[in-house]
Structure formats: structure tokens, C-alpha cells
Structure 1
Amino acid sequence: MPKEYQLESMPATASLSQWLKNNFQYIPPAFITLILLVGQFTFGILDSYMTLVAAIATAMIAEIILARIVLGTWKNLASAYITGISVGILIRSNVVWPYIVTSLLSILSKYVFRYKDRHLWNPSNFGVSWMLALYSVHVAGLSIQWGSNLAAMSVIWILGLLIVNRAKRLHVTVTYVISFSILAYVRCLITGDAFLAELSPLTGPMYQLFIFFMITDPPTSVSTRKGRIIVAVLVAIVEFVLRLNNLIYAPFFALFLVGPVAKFFDLRSIALRNRKREKPGVGPGSVA
């Protein structure tokens, strides 16, 4: 059978599956853009398109320059785009410079804070956390919810779950959501607030970005499935404690504290295992 005929007779689903496999790095940027569009046209979550453009442009330019200087290579800009658009969505300010600084801090963290040639922090988590902690006079975090728009929330969640499943990180999202839900019930017992009020942050764009992009970030996740599940539970527990102390940006701070420590020890344990594997054994006839 001619090769051309074989290609033409290939099922459309197979062609689509192969295309997604070969171009998956572009799916998360498309998805986060969808989150932005749904949020903007439904609730107007952006203060200004100029600040969004400033955040994205800064992230992409910084990625190009730093990758060339530090690594001597040209990087795919999909990750930088996700970082920039995340910054543009997640922080609020009436001036432009915090968006530029946050994006710059986020990308710098990939090239400055490294261990075993890997960066430890999720970039946007690093930048957003620092700005919310140190410049709260000029910067606030996104707090708007999707409200009662169940259709918008359902589309985002369905697509998000499909994407993290394709990235082999569905167990991270599910573990975190279950942990958050259980601890939300515990919080309502402690504080006396309604359970749905404690649970409602999960419906907001801030948490959707956190659940689908930050805590599941493959480059900064630990190497084992069991380890990733443990990290997700620990992040939820630290967030629980921070929320009890009235820190409204608790998820960002929790991941900021837990994620890099877990990644450091994961990389260290991998290095130690590799060293033991490469170390020659002492046997008969060898010099001890």
C-alpha cells in the first residue's frame, strides 16, 4: 500500500493524538490563556491589558537573555509565557512596575537558585510570593471568584484535569484537592465558618492556576509518585496552618516553603543513589 494512502486513511483521532503528543508543550500555554479569557470576559479579572503584556514580555525577554548567558542555549518560551501570564493574572497593582519586577524575579529564580543543574522553585510561585510578602503596599493578589458561573468553572476543571493527566500529574491535583477539602472541614469546625465558605476558594482562578500549574509543575516536582503525593499533602497542611493565622495567600506561601525543600532532598537522594551505583565494589583481588 502506498505510504500516501496509509497517511490519508489514518483515523483523525490517531492523527490528533499524535499531534498532541508531539506538541504538548503548547497545550498548557493555550489552557492558561483560556483561563484568562474566561475570567476576563466573565468577570473582568484584569485591571489592564498593558500590565499583562508587560508581565509576559518581561518573562520572555528575561528567559531568552538568561538562558543564553547562563546555559548557553536558546530556550522554548512556552514556560516563560506561562510564568508571565500567571503573574499578570495573579497580582494586582495600580502601577506597572510590580508586574515587571515579579516576572523578572520569577525567571531569575530559575537561573540563580539551582541545585544539581535544576531550579528548585516554581518560577511564578517564587516571584508572586516574594512580592505579596514584601510589597503588600503596592501589590495584592487575585481574589475574585467565578461566582455562580458553573459552566465556566466546569470547562476549566475538565480541561485542566485532562492536561494534568496527560502530564502524569493528575494524582498531585487530586491529592491536593482532597487534602484541602478535608482540612477545610476541620477549619470550619475550628473557626465556626460555613464549610462551603471554606471550600469556595477552589472555584476561583487563583486556585485553578495553583492547582493546575504551580503544584503540578514537572520541573520542580519530586521524582517519585509517592513523593509527589506526600508533598501535596504537606502543602495542604502548611496552607491550613497559615490560613488559621489569617494569611489569605496561604497556598502560595505554603508551596514556597515546602516545594523547594522537597525538591532539594529529592535531587540529593538521586545524586547519592547514582554515586553508590557508580562506586566500584570491593571484592577479591581489589585493593581496599
Structure 2
Amino acid sequence: MTSATASIGQPPAAKPGFFASLKPQHMVSALVTFFLVMGQWRYQIIKSYPLTGVALIDDYLVLYACLGTAMIAEALLSRSLRGTWPSVLSAYIAGNSIVILLKPQGGLWAYVLAVAISITSKYVLTYRGRHLWNPTNFAISFLLLAAPGSIAILSHEWGNEPWTVGLIWAVGLLVVHRAKLLHITFTYLVSFVSLGFLRAAITGHDWLTEITPVTGPMYQMLMFFMLTDPRTTVSTRKGRITVVVLIAILECMLRLANDYGQGWAAPFATAPAIYALAIIGPLAMWLELRKK
């Protein structure tokens, strides 16, 4: 009996379920939507611009501007530089991430500029076909350094309601677990808490004061989105863990340097974790790609 005839009568292979068929990018886009909805519902994080007098437009004008800019920029750059139509998921994630994290002093221009920089970095700051920076991480780092008087980042203003923080963490951990990236988030969390003991011992600050920022939106976005971005992480599990530990160590050094008034560290005081990723992450990617 041939293999062809033997296969007759056998039931067809079962198709993967809905959740099993989801790619990491789908999960991340769902998670960033959840973050945005929770943040707006509980803390009204989207800045309103009263331009038209229509609440549905003015209250969400920032969101419309960011998503529109992201998708237009992504489409134009992908078509002109690569000749293909891109997936909208990356633009969707970048646009929403900027809405959540960026808090400029001025008008819409800062949001639009941040999104444009974010998307453009994917096509310009590349090496051997890969972009080196997480797009949102690069845009925020660049603007915080270039215009510190006009740009701010949402760091820990969401409040500390246990159920809200717990729900965000539960959903975030579930998503990174499903995406098989939990080891990255867990490594950073353990490193941050462990180094919190060190900072507390050196500075004399209370340990809880050192670690409570990890419950804020900046660190949640870092752990669930930026560090776990599949396109800007090294390929091996061991390598990812090493990179995340190095990022946590550099962040600790930047925070300590600011605690002791070191002038060179002052520009990094607003978001040391964001800057640490912007320095270590691309360097690790470049070193890995260079060996191939």
C-alpha cells in the first residue's frame, strides 16, 4: 500500500485555533489598544484640542492625527523605498504608543513630528535589512534630547490604583507569554527590582521608592512593547536576556549619576530606561547582524 492510498480516509489535520494563529504583532496591537482604552477611561490621557467644537473630534484629535500620520508615512515610505504595501499594524502600534507616552507642551505638531520620526527611522536607520531602533523608542529619545523644554513623557502619572495596575499587568503578561517573549519582560523586571536594592543601599533612599516607578506607564510600555519588539531584538534567548540585563544596569547607572548630580547625566534624567534601551538595544543588534 502506497503512502498516498494509506492517507485516504484519514481525517484532515485540524486547523489551528484563532488564538494559536495570531502573530506577535497582532497580540501587541491588541495590547496597545487595551493600554490606550484603560488609560483614557481611568486617567483621560489623551489631550483634547478644542478646534471644532465637536467633542468626538476635539477629544480624540491627537489620536486621529497620530494614526493618520503613521499610516500615511508607512505607506509612502514602503511604496517608494521597497515597492510594497506595508502592514498597518506597525503604524498602528507606533501611533498609539506616541499618544500614550508623549506629553508635549505645545500643539499637535509634536505628536505628528514624533510619529513621522518613528516611522521614518524604520526605513533610514537600518543595517543589513533590519532597523536597529524600536521606532517609538527612537522618536521619544530623540525629541526628549532635542526639545526638552517642549517635550515630556508620561512616566508615572497614571496613579497607583491596585486593581488598574494589576489588570494592566495581567493582560500584558498574558500577551507576552502568548508571544513567547515572557523571558524578556521577566528578566527586566527582576533586574530592575534587584538593582533597586543596590540603588537604595547606595543612596539611602527607601527601596519601595526606587522600585515603584515600574508600575507606571513608561515602564509598562518599555517592558511589554519596546523591549519585546521582535524586529529589534537579537535572535537568541540567551542574547536577549543578556541585552535586557545590560539595559537595566545602564539605567541604574544613569539614575545614580543623576542622584549624585553628575552633569553629563542630566539630559537623561527624564527617562533613563528609554535612553538605556536606545543605547544598548541598537548596539546589540548591530553586533549580531555584523557577524552574519
TM-score bracket, normalised by the shorter chain, equals 0.7 to 0.9
Q: How does 1:1-288 map to 2 (within 5 A)?
A: 18-24=17-23, 25-48=25-48, 49-93=60-104, 94-246=106-258, 247-269=269-291, 271=292
- Aligned identity (percent) is 45
Matching residue's letter, 2:20: K
Determine the C-alpha separation between the residues in 2 that align with 1:199 and 1:145. 15
Alpha-carbon distance in 2 for matches of 1:19, 1:39: 27
Shift of 1:52: 2.5
Runs of 4+ deviating beyond 4 Å: none
Q: TM-score, normalised by structure 1?
A: 0.85
Is the partner of 1:35 in helix, strand or coil? Answer: helix
Deviations 1:144-172 (A, max 9, x none): 34433111111111111121122221111
Give the whole-Å Cα distance in 2 for the aligned partners of 1:184 and 1:45.
28
Distance 1:159 1:201 in 2: 19
TM-score normalised to structure 2 length: 0.84
- Gap runs ≥5 in structure 2: 1-10, 49-59, 259-268
SS, match of residue 137 in structure 1: coil
In 2: Cα distance, 1:148 partner to 1:121 partner: 30
Calculate the aligned-residue CA RMSD, in Å: 1.8
Amino acid at match of 1:98: A
Which whole-Å CA distance do the structure 1 matches of 2:147 and 2:221 have between them? 22
In the comparison of the two structures, how many residue pairs are matched? 259
* Deviation of 1:27 (Å): 2.4
What is the CA distance between 1:29 and its match in structure 2?
A: 1.3
The one-letter amino acid paired with 1:79 is: S
User: What stretches of structure 1 of length at least 5 have no aligned partner?
Assistant: 1-5, 8-13, 272-288
Contact 2:160/2:215, CA 8 A, preserved across alignment: no
Cα deviation, 1:151-196, whole Å, max 9, x if unaligned, reads 1111111111121122221111000000000111111112222111
